[in-house]
Amino acid sequence: MAEKRNPITFSVAIQTRETPLMILKRCIQSVRDQTLSDIEIILLDSNDTDSPYKDAIRWEDGLLSDIIYLEIPEKGEFIKGKNAVLETYHGDYLTFLSAQDTMPPKRLEEVLSAFLKDRSINMLYTDISAQQADVLDLTDLEIDSGKFHYLPQLIFHRDCFEWIGSFDTALVAHCDDDIWLRANSLHLPHHLSSENTKVTVCPECYHHYTPLNAAIGYRQLLVKYAALLQRNIPEKKRLYQKAASAYHKAGVFHRYIQFQTLAIFTRK
């Protein structure tokens, strides 16, 4: 790993696959517009080698001039790419975005202030505004939430990964939920809520697997975190419900009935 260039810099990793250039540039600009200086941008290009989306990135004049560019063709949840980011970034703090996401200008400044105010914090999560249909329309934000749903809500101090490790390549789906559950098992996440820290996400950009793989992924999480879920019954019930819904969409109705029954009889 290259020598760290700034002890308080942020690294922002942007994942892109089949994203129109206009939307990708909007995401990058939202990072460049941050009021905090010394921000490193890493572009994780997961497009196929012969993809026109990849060609557009290469041909756009000046787009990559101040960006660390990683080319890792990959579908699904980009787990190899995310782990490559962990081997590449230089900042003391790291966050991820999908290329369809944006952040308000003061987000990283306020996040850094929270980290510096309480040096015991290794991980923060912030609120989201979820776009419902048109990723070009920033007024299409019908759902605001302070709960965890998507990876861009998380901001990691470098020390955090010494505790939680890298992204789990053995999972069929839901590697982001896995990171969240792992962090919760160590009581790491702290919630930071303000309009300046709320990140805008596109939910459609975080579902890159079939309903059957989604169901299997939830089952993997239920097994992997069985001990933790015994102490967090609401989360256990939620995972049963998610698995049941995914099996229903996949047309595997005996599994749907099984997990729906487990959800019903799991008391909060």
Question: Where along the chain do its domains lie?
Answer: 10-206, 211-264
Query: Which residues have C-beta within 8 Å of that of residue 116, sequence separation ≥ 6?
Result: 8
Identify the pLDDT of residue 1.
45
Give the pLDDT confidence score for residue 2 in this predicted structure.
46
- For the structural domain made of 10-206, what CATH number should be given? 3.90.550.10
Alpha-carbon separation of residue 212 from 169, 215, 256 (angstroms): 18, 5, 11
Task: Identify the residue whose tokens are 């081997």.
Answer: 87
> E-assigned strands of the chain?
10-16, 39-45, 67-71, 93-98, 123-126, 128-131, 141-145, 154-157, 189-192, 199-201
The parts of the chain modelled with pLDDT lower than 70 are 1-8, 132-142, 268
Residue 245 to residues 173, 209, 212, Cα–Cα distance (Å): 15, 14, 10
pLDDT of residue 226: 95
pTM above 0.95, yes or no: no
Contact 79, 176 (CB under 8 A): no
pLDDT value at residue 4? 46
